[in-house]
Amino acid sequence: MKRVHCLYRVSTKRQVNNSGDNDIPMQHTACHEFANRNGWTITREFYEKGISGHKVSADDRDSVKDLRKAAEKGEFDILLVYMFDRIGRKEDETPIVVKWFASNGIEVWSVTEGEQRFDTHTDNLLNFIRYWQADGESQKTSMRVKESMDQMTARGEYTGGVTPFGYTTVPSGRVNKQGKEVMELVIDSSEAPIVKMIFEKTVRDGYGSYRVAVLLNEKGIKTHNGSVFRSNSVNRILKNKTYCGYYVSGDITSPHIPRLQIIDENTFTLAQEILEQRSAKNDEKTQIARTTKGKTLMSGNIYCGHCGSIMHATSCLDIYTRKDGSRYEKRRQQYICSKKGRNKNACEGQSVYAATKIDGAMLTIVRNYLKMIEVTPKSVALEKRYQTKIADLKIQERETLQEKKILEESLTSLTAEISKSLNGDSTFTPDVLSNAINNAKKEMQKIEEKLAQLNYEINNSQGSMKKLDHFYDQYTKWASEFNDETPEGRKMIICQLIHEVKVSKGYELEIIVDMNYEQFLAFAP
């Protein structure tokens, strides 16, 4: 008697058979009946719940990996599915997966389509065509769902999903095509102030997500599901553009919905920049300090002017006895060249710099910068800055379009090799081609997203001027508030104003101002 392993792929909403028993998926019932008619014994069943055979590679699907292992051990004779597209819908991968089972002595059967054989050239071609069609159907279904969601988003309609912290859902008074009442998102007046605090602590005081989570937990604030806050839950809040008053579905953003706005867009943008820099690898240069808890002013964006290594803030304790017998004890803050301090290179600079000297000099320089911007003509500065930005964006667009053209040519060549490879006429193996095509598609998606963003920024002149206007207003605001700011607030102002500081022997400082503010200074009298 032949041993059968079954593979089921079911959606998160379980299918119902004709008897109305919603505990047994329809595929399960059909496969068992088919096996009984043929005198087969089902020895093991694999369920994939909510996994897309079109989007997820076979190498990333546990059930397919387990089935391959079982096949190699000779544990079963037949792989049975309800329909062949249950195995997958990737045109450049699934035919190869099915053929692998067949070449390893496993019969591949479908309840509705019979056995998939590979005895002739025609069998190979039909196998490829079947999954090419399945891939196309998946793409059409995905496109229809996405188009519907995008249209709803573009109209400013709520499409459901997890309710973000700071909001709640209420009945809208409308019903959908299924007769169910449609919900709409509204601000939760008790949670909105907490959202504002999270952004303020991140942008103004430089709190990291872990530190924000600790603060929220100390205050006894819980997430929507009653759990404590963690770094990832704080980051989800900081990255959600709904707080600016927009619904977002993929690359579609709704018109501005004032009733949903909790955070202004400039604060949101700055929060994204902070998150991006802090997620950089430790050996990458960052402008925003990874933490503002320390006592030094420049930790995070100060570097050795000789070897380029980051300077780490540390402290030492001076202790000695005075002539009168009294004990002197004082802790000194200092900056240390990270590589020279560990003897990792032949840096010619100092190992240690007194933080009081560097921080004192930087305070004087920053105050002078802030005074200069107060007398800078706003209209002239904004116009010049805008023209420079647009020119830079157009250069980036041309370079990205060239990258896209090269990648399109590569994809065309790789796709043409698929049918040759299946017939043994290509120098490339099917696996190599499959991986290459998948990687190329991922790169193409990144390029498309980049082009869309560049195009939006180039054509959105009003938004660009508004953003530049924000930088100018932010600059003048810093000028009026800097002296009264908390130490943490001063650090964040300096981090945003100063891109990088290099210190060399004799405490020589090279200061690179952030590009968003550099040209404002250039027009100062």
d(CA 296, CA 467): 31
Q: Give me Rg for the CA atoms of the chain.
A: 31
d(CA 51, CA 60): 10
Tokens encoding 469: 């206007």
162 located within any domain? no
Tokens encoding 342: 């560990």
Looking at the predicted structure, is the pLDDT value of residue 16 above 60?
A: no
Determine how many CB atoms are found less than 10 A away from the CB of residue 430: 19
Q: Is 208 exposed, middle or buried (0-12, 13-18, 19+ CB in 10 A)?
A: buried
Give 281's pLDDT tier (boundaries 50, 70, 90): low
d(CA 17, CA 23): 9
458 located within any domain? yes
Q: Are residues 306 and 388 in the same domain?
A: yes
Tokens encoding 230: 């963690």
> Where is pLDDT greater, at 194 or 478?
194
Q: Are residues 308 and 340 in the same domain?
A: yes
d(CA 482, CA 368): 11
Question: Domain range spanning residue 74?
Answer: 3-153
Q: Are residues 265 and 290 in the same domain?
A: no
208 located within any domain? yes
d(CA 310, CA 336): 8
Determine how many CB atoms are found less than 10 A away from the CB of residue 8: 21
Angle among Cα 291, 219, 224 to the nearest 5 degrees reads 100
> For 227-258, how does the pLDDT look when each residue is reduced to its tens digit (9 = 90+)?
999 999 999 999 999 999 999 887 788 888 99
The full DSSP string for 36-85 is: HHTT-EEEEEEEEES--TTTS-GGG-HHHHHHHHHHHTT--SEEEESSGG
Which of 256, 278, 300 is where one domain is finished? 278
Q: Are residues 251 and 290 in the same domain?
A: no
Q: What is the DSSP pairing of strand 107-110 with strand 114-116? A: antiparallel
pLDDT at site 377: 66
What are 108's strand-pairing partners?
79, 116
The full 3-state SS of 442-509, as one line of letters, equals HHHHHHHHHHHHHHHHHHCHHHHHHHHHHHHHHHHHHHHHHHHCCHHHHHHHHHHHEEEEEEEHHHEE
Q: What are phi and psi of 149, to 5 degrees?
A: -65, -40
Which secondary structure element, helix H or strand E, spans residue 192, and what is its range? helix 192-203
Which of 153, 188, 204 is where one domain is finished? 153
Q: Are residues 12 and 47 in the same domain?
A: yes
| Mean per-residue pLDDT over the chain, rounded | 79
Q: Are residues 104 and 44 in the same domain?
A: yes
Looking at the predicted structure, is the pLDDT value of residue 424 above 70?
A: yes
Judged by average pLDDT, the poorest of 8-12, 98-102, 216-220, 405-409 is: 8-12
Q: Are residues 418 and 295 in the same domain?
A: yes
Which residue's structure tokens are 């997820």? 56
As a whole number, mean pLDDT of residues 410-428 equals 80
159 located within any domain? no
Closest CA to 268 of 467, 13, 123: 467
d(CA 187, CA 185): 7
> For 40-72, how does the pLDDT look when each residue is reduced to its tens digit (9 = 90+)?
999 999 887 655 544 556 666 788 888 989 999
459 located within any domain? yes
- The one-character DSSP state at 310 is B
Judged by average pLDDT, the poorest of 312-316, 508-512, 517-521 is: 517-521
Q: Are residues 377 and 515 in the same domain?
A: yes
d(CA 250, CA 150): 8
As a whole number, mean pLDDT of residues 333-349 equals 76
- Residue 414 makes CB contacts below 8 A (sequence gap 6+) with 433, 436, 437, 440
Judged by average pLDDT, the poorest of 215-224, 240-249, 324-333 is: 324-333
pLDDT at site 302: 87
158 located within any domain? no
Q: Are residues 339 and 218 in the same domain?
A: no
CATH number, domain of 66, equals 3.40.50.1390
> For 97-136, how does the pLDDT look when each residue is reduced to its tens digit (9 = 90+)?
888 888 888 998 988 888 887 766 666 666 666 656 555 5
306 located within any domain? yes
How many domains, in total, are found in the chain? 3
Q: Are residues 504 and 429 in the same domain?
A: yes
